[in-house]
Amino acid sequence: METQQKFIRVLIVDDEDDFRETIVKRLNARKLVSEGAASGVKALEILKTKDFDVIVLDVKMPEMDGIETLRHIKKLKPEIEVIMLTGHASVEFGLKGMQLGAFDYIMKPAMLNELLDTISQAYHKKCNVDY
Amino acid sequence: MERNYRKIWWRHWLAITCFSVIPLLFVSYSLYALFDRIYTEKVYETLRNSVANQRESLELYFSERISQLYTLANTNTFEELTNEVYLNKVFDLMHVRSNSYMDIGIIDDEGRHLSYVGSYYSLLKNVNYKNEPWFDAVKANGIYISEIFLGFRKVPHFIIAVMVRDKSSSWILRVTINLKNIDDIVQKAWDGKQGDAFIINKSNKLQTKPRFGGNFLESPTLNSVSNAQSHHEDFDYSGIIATKVERKTFFGQDSFFAATPISNSNWILVNKESPEELLSPLLKGKFWALFLTITGLVVIGCGAALFTNSLVNKIRETDHENATNFDMLMQANKMIALSKMAAGIAHEVNNPLASIGETAGWMKDLLAEEDLAGSKNFTEFDESVDKIEKHVIRARKIIHNLLGFARRMEPAKEKINVNNLLEETTGFLENEAKYLSIRVEKKYADDVPVIVSDLSQIQQVVLNILNNAIDAIGSNGTITVSSRYLHKSGQIEIAVADTGKGIPESELTRIFDPFYTTKEVGKGTGLGLSISYSIIEKLGGHITVESKVGEGTVFTILLPKH
């Protein structure tokens, strides 16, 4: 566990396969340990077996939406920081997510640097809280 | 949608008129009926009084004559009065004083005419009255007032006879009354053009000549020939025993009649008055009542018309307003539908765009790992990927704008730097202001915190107020835009002051009403400030206005921090 802590473990939850897969590849290329989940339900399944530092969560998904997923995540593993991914029209959901305990929200289409910055901020926050 | 205003007009007018006219007619009629009753009573009263006065005059006349005769009989002896020379002297003396007598005679117990002074000397001197009806009556009663009769002279006349009793004998003093005296009294009641008065006896025979035809001892016909047959009710007051006043139709003539019996005689005095003359004040009153009622009706009609006009205009205005509101609502609905569609499109495009962006980013990542010399088209690849990223950013901006438009429909929440917002918004109008020689002064406080609110909506409001300020100034003036943080209430204050023409106090209260506008017809919808007002209220803030005519106007927006 200790050794793995050097790398930030990120779970990308988004139903858009191409986007999710590319983000995962790009984050992994930047020394993050990331993984994708195609839906809220899948994310929760993965969370049962694996631990993450930060979860990037799309707001708009079929079946279980981002807000619903966030609630479950916060119930399951409250220490994980969550970053909401929203479209412009759903900024409210981003704010709502923050009220429910999300770290921040980022508007889609996000630039990778922005996402990286937010992830590292969230990670640091988590570590500080952890210590 | 279009109503039948003409129909509404008539319906309202009729309703108003009816409700006003009914009381008017009721009052008019009641007053008229009251007046009519009182006046008619008065007329009866007057008739009763006047006939009574006449009767009293006649009675007085008779009693004077009788007492004169008694005096004559008792101050002269039988021998003196039977001397015709002496009697002549006495008669002349009486005649000088009053013109009451036509002739005088002394008759003895046996009906012999002992002496006579008068114009029928030769005819009457030698008659014997013994068998005349009045002879027994005077003997029985001591006094006798006759009716009109023809007697020996065969001329209508009437007499008064008194019985005088001496120690030894009894005799009768008889005079013929000058009918002119009676006529004088009776004719006083010949009022106006149609008033009539006459005397009848108890057999309904005329004792004086009526004004309009009829002769002594005939039944009165009221000078009516044609209708005499048609009316069944006979004119007959001969049977009355007390004064009677009535309105009746005899011989087709509608008249007022007053009849009264004259005491100590068989006579009945009848007065006749025409209703037209007697009731002329009432007719005048009728006319005035009618005139006033008609005037009232006209006034009510006109008033109702004026009132209805304004009412119908009001309805028309309201309808127009409603139609406009309906249009606005339709417009708003359209905008909502449009914004929903825009939001949907933006969202759907966002995801592929994000994928494109990320994929391009991944390609860039991979290119960075490639050996520079390994591919001769490396630069081309790199530039192409950059271009893809650039255009993704461009598309992102377009979607941003599209969503910005869509979001204007409902308040969003985002972090806003108020000073930046003001700077950006004034920036839109700075060129226009410069062109109109309007200086824009900015006084931003440094301690204004970042607030959470709806950027584009606040921007819309500020823009609207700035536009109004420019319109109010026209040209040459100053607009001062300032921001302030009110520490106590935790509110942010945005103020826009102009040096324009100002708004009169009377209009200041209506300025936020929908459809209120001071701009030329067709130029403004009047919706700007009312929408601004509702936007700021919806955001939990408040908007106020202060203005002085000739000095300018200040709009102040207060916004909560969150």
Angle made by CA atoms B433, B439, B445, in degrees to the nearest 5: 115
Query: How many domains does one find in chain A?
Result: 1
pLDDT tier, B483 (very low <50, low <70, confident <90, very high otherwise) = very high
In a domain, A1, yes or no: no
pLDDT tier, B463 (very low <50, low <70, confident <90, very high otherwise) = confident
Instruction: Spell out which residues of chain A touch residue B365, defining contact as CB-CB under 8 Å.
Output: 25-26, 29
In a domain, A2, yes or no: no
Q: Which residue has the higher pLDDT, B424 or A39?
A: A39
Question: Coil, strand or helix: which one is B236?
Answer: coil
CB–CB contacts below 8 A, A to B = 68
B interface test, pick of A20, A22, A34, A95 with most B CB neighbours within 10 Å: A22
Determine the CATH number of domain B76-181.
3.30.450.20
A interface test, pick of B355, B457, B562 with most A CB neighbours within 10 Å: B355
Write the pLDDT tens digit of every residue in B495-513. 999 998 888 888 887 787 7
| CB-CB under 8 Å, B350 with A108 | yes
Write the pLDDT tens digit of every residue in B85-94. 999 998 888 8
Would an 8 Å CB–CB cutoff place B291 in contact with chain A?
Answer: no
What distance in Å separates the CA atoms of residue B139 and residue B107, rounded to the nearest whole number?
11
User: Which strand ranges, in their side-by-side order, compose the sheet holding B113-117?
Assistant: B113-117, B101-108, B170-177, B159-165, B143-145
Question: Domain map of chain B by residue range?
Answer: 5-61+189-278, 76-181, 283-407, 414-560
Least confident of A35-49, B178-192, B229-243: B229-243
| CB-CB under 8 Å, A89 with B403 | yes
Would an 8 Å CB–CB cutoff place B354 in contact with chain A?
Answer: yes
Identify the DSSP state of A110: P
Give the one of A23, A26, A60 whose C-beta lies nearest to B347's C-beta. Answer: A60
Q: Does domain B414-560 have CATH number 3.40.50.2300?
A: no
- Which range of A1-10, A59-68, B295-304, B420-429 scores highest in mean pLDDT? It is B295-304
Statement: residue A1 has pLDDT above 50: no
Give the one of A26, A92, A108 whose C-beta lies nearest to B354's C-beta. Answer: A108
Q: Are strands B170-177 and B244-250 parallel, antiparallel or unpaired?
A: unpaired
| CB-CB under 8 Å, B350 with A87 | yes
Q: How many CB atoms neighbour CB B260 within 10 A?
A: 24
Q: Which fold has domain B5-61+189-278?
A: Beta-Lactamase (3.30.450)
Q: Which long-range contacts (CB under 8 A, 24 or more apart) does B226-231 make?
A: B226/B252, B227/B251, B227/B252, B227/B253
ipTM exceeding 0.90? no
Statement: residue B482 has pLDDT above 90: yes
- B195-199 mean pLDDT: 89
Write the pLDDT tens digit of every residue in B547-556. 998 899 999 9
| CB-CB under 8 Å, A88 with B399 | yes
Write the pLDDT tens digit of every residue in B141-151. 888 888 888 88
In a domain, A120, yes or no: yes
Q: Which long-range contacts (CB under 8 A, 24 or more apart) does B521-529 make?
A: B527/B328, B528/B464, B528/B467, B528/B468, B529/B464, B529/B468
Give the one of A22, A87, A92 whose C-beta lies nearest to B412's C-beta. Answer: A92
pLDDT of res. B440: 92
- B33-43 mean pLDDT: 88
| CB-CB under 8 Å, A89 with B347 | yes
Would an 8 Å CB–CB cutoff place B410 in contact with chain A?
Answer: no
Give A26→chain B minimum CA distance, Å: 6
Statement: residue B27 has pLDDT above 80: yes
What is the enclosing helix (H) or strand (E) of A91?
A: helix A91-99
User: Which strand ranges, in their side-by-side order, compose the sheet holding B552-560?
Assistant: B438-444, B477-486, B491-498, B552-560, B542-548
Give the one of B357, B407, B414 whose C-beta lies nearest to A109's C-beta. Answer: B357
**Residue of chain A whose Cα is closest to the Cα of B401:** A88
Would an 8 Å CB–CB cutoff place B304 in contact with chain A?
Answer: no
| Contact of A69 with A77, CB cutoff 8 Å | no
Write the pLDDT tens digit of every residue in B311-366. 999 998 998 888 888 877 777 777 677 777 777 777 778 888 888 988 888 888 88
pLDDT of res. A3: 39
Would an 8 Å CB–CB cutoff place A64 in contact with chain B?
Answer: no
Instruction: Spell out which residues of chain B touch residue A91, defining contact as CB-CB under 8 Å.
Output: 407, 412-414
List all residues of chain A from 76 to 105 with a beta carbon under 8 Å from chain B: 87-92, 95
Instruction: Spell out which residues of chain B touch residue A114, defining contact as CB-CB under 8 Å.
Output: none
Give the one of A16, A88, A92 whose C-beta lies nearest to B351's C-beta. Answer: A16
- A72-92 mean pLDDT: 82
Write the pLDDT tens digit of every residue in B509-549. 778 776 666 665 544 445 567 778 878 888 888 999 999 98
Mean pLDDT value across chain A: 84
Q: Which residue has the higher pLDDT, B222 or B323?
A: B323
For residue A69, which of A101, A102, A44 has the smallest C-alpha distance?
A: A44
Give the one of A89, A108, A112 whose C-beta lies nearest to B361's C-beta. Answer: A112
Statement: residue B155 has pLDDT above 50: yes
Q: Which residue has the higher pLDDT, B342 or B207?
A: B207
| CB-CB under 8 Å, A60 with B362 | no
| CB-CB under 8 Å, B358 with A19 | yes
| CB-CB under 8 Å, A109 with B350 | yes
- CATH pick for B283-407 out of 3.10.129.10, 3.40.50.410, 3.40.50.720, 1.10.287.130: 1.10.287.130
| CB-CB under 8 Å, A91 with B412 | yes
- State both tokens at B393: 């950013």
| CB-CB under 8 Å, A88 with B403 | yes
pLDDT of res. B522: 45
| CB-CB under 8 Å, B362 with A22 | yes
C-alpha distances out from residue B75 to A111, B71, B97, B138, Å:
161, 6, 17, 20
Would an 8 Å CB–CB cutoff place B276 in contact with chain A?
Answer: no
pLDDT tier, B406 (very low <50, low <70, confident <90, very high otherwise) = low
pLDDT of res. B554: 94
Q: Are strands B159-165 and B170-177 parallel, antiparallel or unpaired?
A: antiparallel
Give the one of A16, A29, A89 whose C-beta lies nearest to B354's C-beta. Answer: A16
Kindly calculate the radius of gyration of chain A based on its CA atoms and give it in whole angstroms: 13
A interface test, pick of B351, B353, B392, B398 with most A CB neighbours within 10 Å: B351
Least confident of B31-45, B222-236, B467-481: B222-236
Same fold, B283-407 and B414-560: no
What distance in Å separates the CA atoms of residue A16 and residue A63, rounded to the nearest whole number?
14
| CB-CB under 8 Å, A19 with B355 | yes
List all residues 6 or more positions away from B294 whose beta carbon is below 8 Å from its beta carbon.
Answer: none
Identify the DSSP state of A88: G
Q: Are strands B267-273 and A54-58 parallel, antiparallel or unpaired?
A: unpaired
Q: pLDDT above 90 covers what percent of chain B?
A: 19
Give the CATH number for residue A89. 3.40.50.2300
| Domain region containing A46 | 7-130
Would an 8 Å CB–CB cutoff place B365 in contact with chain A?
Answer: yes
Identify the DSSP state of A89: G
Write the pLDDT tens digit of every residue in B68-113. 888 888 888 888 888 999 999 988 888 777 788 889 999 988 889 9
Give the one of A18, A22, A87 whose C-beta lies nearest to B346's C-beta. Answer: A87
What distance in Å separates the CA atoms of residue B161 and residue B265, rounded to the nearest whole number?
13
